Amino acid sequence: MADHPTHTEHIDSETGKLGMWLFLFTEIFLFSGLFLVYAIFRAKYSADFHVAAAELNAFIGTINTVFLLVSSMTAAMALTAIQKGNKRLTLILLLVTLLLAALFLVNKYFEWSHKFEYGIYPGSPVLKNMSHGELLFFGLYYMMTGLHALHVVIGMILLTINVVKVKLGTVNSERYLILENSALYWHLVDLVWIFLFPLLYLIT
């Protein structure tokens, strides 16, 4: 049976939570800046953005949205499971979260590959021959989805570390700060995509 946390460990836990929240706010500011730039250019080149967005596959975007929404739920459920001391369920839920994250990246790979096949990638002759507004759209598309994909990979690394720690018993019903912070980070990844999806795929 796990020992109860000491007073010092409790303080460290609260400090760890605060540190994670501060980090998440900096990440939110980063993406908010990109969203603001997107909004400015979209207002200026509305017609071009609409034409460029037609090149994106809304179905794939929708599937990826479902993957991340469900993965955010399983991450939250994993935290609840470890708090209740259910190690096996925690591991299952973390592995499901990782599987959904991997499926998201696989979909993103095929989506990007399709664009590359048609010569739509940064610096390509095809892209350079498009209108200025379309060029800006795809520049922001690759920047924002690429940055988001990087965050997905980082989140998967954090979740994998949690799987190992849960197996070893260092993350348990009494000590689960790293899992709590990792789940928070994963919720941020989900939140950012919830904004990216309609902005990029559902332009009307």
Does residue 46 lie in a domain region? yes
Handedness of CA 44, 46, 48, 53 (dihedral sign): positive
Token representation of residue 128: 């350079």
In tens digits, what is the pLDDT along the chain, a chain of 204 residues? Answer: 445 555 455 555 667 677 877 888 898 899 999 999 999 999 999 999 999 999 899 999 999 999 999 999 999 999 999 999 999 999 999 999 999 999 999 999 999 998 988 888 888 888 788 898 999 999 999 999 999 999 999 999 999 999 999 999 999 999 899 999 999 999 999 999 999 999 999 876
Token representation of residue 101: 């994250």
Give me the DSSP letters along 49-103: HHHHHTTS-HHHHHHHHHHHHHHHHHHHHHHHHHHTT-HHHHHHHHHHHHHHHHH
Q: Where are the beta strands (DSSP E) in the chain?
A: none
Does residue 16 lie in a domain region? no
Does residue 126 lie in a domain region? yes
Token representation of residue 114: 């399709």
Does residue 20 lie in a domain region? no
Does residue 23 lie in a domain region? no
Does residue 187 lie in a domain region? yes
What is the domain count for the chain? Answer: 1
- pTM of this prediction? 0.88
- Write the CATH number for 51: 1.20.120.80
Cα→Cα distances 13→7, 142, 176, 183, Å: 10, 37, 9, 15
Block residue for tokens 């928070």? 184
